[in-house]
Amino acid sequence: MQTVWITGVSSGIGQACAYRYAMQGCRLVLTSTSRPALEATAGKCRELGAAEIRILPYDLSEPDGIRLLVHEAWDAFGGIDILYCNAGISQRTKVEDTPMPVVRKLMEVNFFAPAAMAQAILPLMISNGGGRIAVTSSIAGKFGFPLRCAYSSSKFALYGFFETLRAEYSSQNISVTIVCPGRVRTSISMNALDKGGVRHGVMDPGQDRGLSADAAAARIVRAIRKRKNEVMVGRGELLMVQIRRFFPNLCVRLAAKIKPV
Protein backbone atom coordinates (compact mmCIF):
# COMPACT_ATOMS: atom_id res chain seq x y z
CA MET A 1 0.00 0.00 0.00
CA GLN A 2 1.46 3.33 -1.06
CA THR A 3 1.67 6.46 1.05
CA VAL A 4 1.26 9.67 -0.95
CA TRP A 5 1.83 13.22 0.28
CA ILE A 6 0.29 16.01 -1.80
CA THR A 7 0.41 19.76 -1.21
CA GLY A 8 -2.16 22.22 -2.51
CA VAL A 9 -5.15 19.90 -2.17
CA SER A 10 -7.87 22.45 -1.35
CA SER A 11 -9.00 22.47 -5.00
CA GLY A 12 -7.85 21.97 -8.56
CA ILE A 13 -5.12 19.57 -9.63
CA GLY A 14 -3.96 18.68 -6.12
CA GLN A 15 -7.45 17.83 -4.95
CA ALA A 16 -8.22 15.82 -8.08
CA CYS A 17 -4.98 13.85 -7.67
CA ALA A 18 -5.84 13.18 -4.01
CA TYR A 19 -9.18 11.74 -5.15
CA ARG A 20 -7.43 9.54 -7.71
CA TYR A 21 -5.03 8.15 -5.12
CA ALA A 22 -7.91 7.68 -2.66
CA MET A 23 -9.70 5.49 -5.22
CA GLN A 24 -6.54 3.37 -5.36
CA GLY A 25 -6.76 2.79 -1.60
CA CYS A 26 -3.60 4.72 -0.77
CA ARG A 27 -2.66 6.25 2.55
CA LEU A 28 -2.74 10.02 2.12
CA VAL A 29 -0.99 12.94 3.76
CA LEU A 30 -2.71 16.15 2.67
CA THR A 31 -1.33 19.66 3.02
CA SER A 32 -2.88 23.03 2.27
CA THR A 33 -3.17 26.39 3.98
CA SER A 34 -6.84 26.10 4.98
CA ARG A 35 -7.81 23.49 7.58
CA PRO A 36 -11.55 23.56 6.65
CA ALA A 37 -10.71 22.99 2.98
CA LEU A 38 -8.33 20.19 3.95
CA GLU A 39 -10.99 18.52 6.06
CA ALA A 40 -13.46 18.73 3.17
CA THR A 41 -10.98 17.13 0.77
CA ALA A 42 -10.09 14.47 3.33
CA GLY A 43 -13.75 13.65 3.86
CA LYS A 44 -14.26 13.04 0.15
CA CYS A 45 -11.09 10.95 0.02
CA ARG A 46 -12.42 8.73 2.79
CA GLU A 47 -15.64 8.22 0.83
CA LEU A 48 -13.60 7.27 -2.24
CA GLY A 49 -11.66 4.57 -0.39
CA ALA A 50 -8.46 6.08 1.03
CA ALA A 51 -6.95 3.65 3.54
CA GLU A 52 -5.85 6.29 6.04
CA ILE A 53 -5.55 10.06 5.95
CA ARG A 54 -3.51 12.61 7.87
CA ILE A 55 -4.04 16.33 7.29
CA LEU A 56 -1.17 18.74 7.87
CA PRO A 57 -2.25 22.37 7.40
CA TYR A 58 0.71 24.61 6.58
CA ASP A 59 1.48 27.95 4.93
CA LEU A 60 4.33 27.17 2.54
CA SER A 61 5.37 30.82 2.42
CA GLU A 62 6.84 30.22 5.91
CA PRO A 63 10.19 28.49 5.34
CA ASP A 64 11.26 27.92 8.93
CA GLY A 65 8.85 25.07 9.64
CA ILE A 66 9.23 23.08 6.43
CA ARG A 67 11.80 20.60 7.70
CA LEU A 68 9.59 19.82 10.70
CA LEU A 69 6.59 19.51 8.36
CA VAL A 70 8.48 16.93 6.28
CA HIS A 71 9.26 14.84 9.34
CA GLU A 72 5.65 15.05 10.53
CA ALA A 73 4.47 13.82 7.13
CA TRP A 74 7.04 11.03 7.09
CA ASP A 75 6.20 9.89 10.61
CA ALA A 76 2.42 9.93 10.00
CA PHE A 77 2.55 6.45 8.43
CA GLY A 78 6.23 5.54 8.76
CA GLY A 79 7.33 6.72 5.32
CA ILE A 80 6.34 8.46 2.09
CA ASP A 81 6.42 6.65 -1.26
CA ILE A 82 5.31 9.62 -3.38
CA LEU A 83 5.76 13.32 -2.63
CA TYR A 84 3.83 15.58 -4.98
CA CYS A 85 4.69 19.27 -4.49
CA ASN A 86 1.72 20.84 -6.22
CA ALA A 87 0.89 23.96 -4.18
CA GLY A 88 1.41 27.25 -5.98
CA ILE A 89 0.29 30.82 -6.42
CA SER A 90 0.19 33.04 -9.50
CA GLN A 91 0.00 36.76 -10.35
CA ARG A 92 -1.63 39.13 -12.82
CA THR A 93 0.66 42.19 -12.92
CA LYS A 94 3.22 43.72 -15.28
CA VAL A 95 6.86 43.83 -14.25
CA GLU A 96 6.75 47.47 -13.15
CA ASP A 97 3.59 46.82 -11.10
CA THR A 98 4.92 43.74 -9.29
CA PRO A 99 6.45 44.72 -5.92
CA MET A 100 9.44 42.70 -4.81
CA PRO A 101 7.56 41.34 -1.76
CA VAL A 102 5.12 39.74 -4.23
CA VAL A 103 8.03 38.32 -6.25
CA ARG A 104 9.53 36.89 -3.08
CA LYS A 105 6.22 35.40 -1.94
CA LEU A 106 5.73 33.60 -5.24
CA MET A 107 9.30 32.33 -5.20
CA GLU A 108 8.87 31.17 -1.59
CA VAL A 109 5.69 29.19 -2.26
CA ASN A 110 6.37 27.99 -5.81
CA PHE A 111 10.11 27.31 -5.69
CA PHE A 112 11.78 27.47 -2.29
CA ALA A 113 9.12 25.38 -0.52
CA PRO A 114 9.25 22.44 -2.98
CA ALA A 115 13.06 22.64 -3.04
CA ALA A 116 13.23 22.57 0.77
CA MET A 117 10.73 19.72 0.99
CA ALA A 118 12.64 17.65 -1.55
CA GLN A 119 15.95 18.33 0.17
CA ALA A 120 14.56 17.29 3.56
CA ILE A 121 12.82 14.13 2.33
CA LEU A 122 15.66 12.86 0.12
CA PRO A 123 17.76 11.19 2.85
CA LEU A 124 14.63 9.61 4.30
CA MET A 125 13.58 8.19 0.93
CA ILE A 126 17.09 6.96 0.16
CA SER A 127 17.35 5.19 3.51
CA ASN A 128 13.98 3.61 2.75
CA GLY A 129 15.12 2.24 -0.63
CA GLY A 130 13.94 5.08 -2.87
CA GLY A 131 10.85 7.09 -3.71
CA ARG A 132 9.08 9.29 -6.21
CA ILE A 133 8.99 13.07 -6.23
CA ALA A 134 6.70 15.11 -8.47
CA VAL A 135 6.43 18.87 -8.76
CA THR A 136 4.05 21.17 -10.62
CA SER A 137 5.79 23.60 -12.94
CA SER A 138 3.84 25.20 -15.82
CA ILE A 139 3.88 25.98 -19.51
CA ALA A 140 4.92 29.40 -18.16
CA GLY A 141 8.08 27.67 -16.97
CA LYS A 142 9.01 27.07 -20.60
CA PHE A 143 8.76 30.63 -21.92
CA GLY A 144 8.00 34.12 -20.58
CA PHE A 145 4.32 35.00 -20.44
CA PRO A 146 2.63 38.42 -20.03
CA LEU A 147 1.62 39.35 -16.46
CA ARG A 148 3.54 36.39 -15.02
CA CYS A 149 7.09 37.69 -14.40
CA ALA A 150 7.41 36.20 -10.89
CA TYR A 151 5.27 33.16 -11.65
CA SER A 152 7.26 32.26 -14.75
CA SER A 153 10.52 32.80 -12.88
CA SER A 154 9.49 30.42 -10.10
CA LYS A 155 8.37 27.78 -12.58
CA PHE A 156 11.56 28.06 -14.65
CA ALA A 157 13.55 27.58 -11.44
CA LEU A 158 11.76 24.32 -10.65
CA TYR A 159 13.11 22.78 -13.85
CA GLY A 160 16.70 23.62 -12.93
CA PHE A 161 16.45 22.31 -9.39
CA PHE A 162 14.48 19.12 -10.00
CA GLU A 163 16.28 18.10 -13.18
CA THR A 164 19.52 18.38 -11.21
CA LEU A 165 18.03 16.35 -8.35
CA ARG A 166 17.05 13.64 -10.85
CA ALA A 167 20.53 13.54 -12.36
CA GLU A 168 22.18 13.24 -8.94
CA TYR A 169 19.88 10.67 -7.31
CA SER A 170 18.31 8.51 -10.03
CA SER A 171 20.91 5.83 -9.30
CA GLN A 172 19.51 5.68 -5.74
CA ASN A 173 16.00 4.87 -6.97
CA ILE A 174 14.71 8.44 -6.74
CA SER A 175 12.47 9.36 -9.67
CA VAL A 176 11.39 12.91 -10.49
CA THR A 177 8.32 13.80 -12.54
CA ILE A 178 7.91 17.44 -13.56
CA VAL A 179 4.28 18.28 -14.23
CA CYS A 180 3.81 20.98 -16.87
CA PRO A 181 0.19 22.16 -17.09
CA GLY A 182 -1.12 24.51 -19.72
CA ARG A 183 -4.67 25.68 -19.24
CA VAL A 184 -6.43 23.59 -16.62
CA ARG A 185 -9.75 24.60 -15.10
CA THR A 186 -8.66 25.44 -11.55
CA SER A 187 -8.96 28.41 -9.19
CA ILE A 188 -5.34 29.54 -9.66
CA SER A 189 -6.33 32.64 -11.62
CA MET A 190 -8.97 33.51 -9.01
CA ASN A 191 -6.34 33.37 -6.27
CA ALA A 192 -3.57 35.08 -8.27
CA LEU A 193 -2.07 38.25 -6.82
CA ASP A 194 -3.09 41.49 -8.50
CA LYS A 195 -1.79 45.03 -7.98
CA GLY A 196 -1.05 45.66 -4.33
CA GLY A 197 -0.83 41.93 -3.67
CA VAL A 198 -4.63 41.53 -3.50
CA ARG A 199 -6.58 38.55 -4.82
CA HIS A 200 -7.31 38.80 -8.56
CA GLY A 201 -10.74 37.20 -8.14
CA VAL A 202 -11.39 36.61 -11.86
CA MET A 203 -11.37 33.36 -13.80
CA ASP A 204 -9.24 33.71 -16.93
CA PRO A 205 -11.45 32.98 -19.99
CA GLY A 206 -8.83 30.70 -21.56
CA GLN A 207 -8.42 28.78 -18.35
CA ASP A 208 -12.18 28.43 -17.99
CA ARG A 209 -12.14 26.57 -21.31
CA GLY A 210 -9.19 24.44 -20.27
CA LEU A 211 -8.80 20.79 -19.45
CA SER A 212 -10.72 19.62 -16.39
CA ALA A 213 -8.76 19.06 -13.18
CA ASP A 214 -9.88 15.43 -13.14
CA ALA A 215 -8.60 14.79 -16.66
CA ALA A 216 -5.32 16.46 -15.72
CA ALA A 217 -5.06 14.34 -12.58
CA ALA A 218 -5.54 11.13 -14.55
CA ARG A 219 -2.55 11.99 -16.73
CA ILE A 220 -0.43 13.11 -13.79
CA VAL A 221 -1.06 10.06 -11.60
CA ARG A 222 -0.31 7.78 -14.54
CA ALA A 223 2.93 9.64 -15.33
CA ILE A 224 4.12 9.41 -11.72
CA ARG A 225 3.32 5.69 -11.65
CA LYS A 226 5.34 5.18 -14.83
CA ARG A 227 8.18 7.35 -13.47
CA LYS A 228 7.96 9.70 -16.44
CA ASN A 229 10.47 12.54 -16.43
CA GLU A 230 7.85 15.06 -17.54
CA VAL A 231 4.13 15.16 -18.26
CA MET A 232 2.50 17.88 -20.34
CA VAL A 233 -1.09 18.54 -19.31
CA GLY A 234 -3.42 20.65 -21.43
CA ARG A 235 -4.75 21.06 -24.93
CA GLY A 236 -3.73 23.06 -28.00
CA GLU A 237 -1.79 25.63 -25.98
CA LEU A 238 0.91 23.01 -25.39
CA LEU A 239 1.94 23.52 -29.02
CA MET A 240 3.73 26.65 -27.81
CA VAL A 241 6.29 24.43 -26.09
CA GLN A 242 7.24 22.88 -29.43
CA ILE A 243 7.26 26.28 -31.11
CA ARG A 244 9.62 27.49 -28.36
CA ARG A 245 11.88 24.50 -28.98
CA PHE A 246 12.07 24.59 -32.78
CA PHE A 247 11.15 28.19 -33.65
CA PRO A 248 12.30 30.34 -30.70
CA ASN A 249 12.01 33.67 -32.55
CA LEU A 250 8.43 32.88 -33.54
CA CYS A 251 7.67 31.98 -29.92
CA VAL A 252 8.90 35.40 -28.79
CA ARG A 253 6.54 37.11 -31.23
CA LEU A 254 3.58 34.91 -30.32
CA ALA A 255 4.13 35.27 -26.58
CA ALA A 256 3.94 39.05 -26.88
CA LYS A 257 0.54 38.71 -28.53
CA ILE A 258 -0.99 36.27 -26.08
CA LYS A 259 -3.99 37.59 -24.20
CA PRO A 260 -2.72 37.20 -20.64
CA VAL A 261 -6.17 37.08 -18.96
Q: Which positions are catalytic?
A: 151
Residue 8 near residue 186, CB atoms below 8 Å: no
230: left (phi over 0), alpha (psi -120 to 50) or beta: beta
Residue 161 near residue 172, CB atoms below 8 Å: no
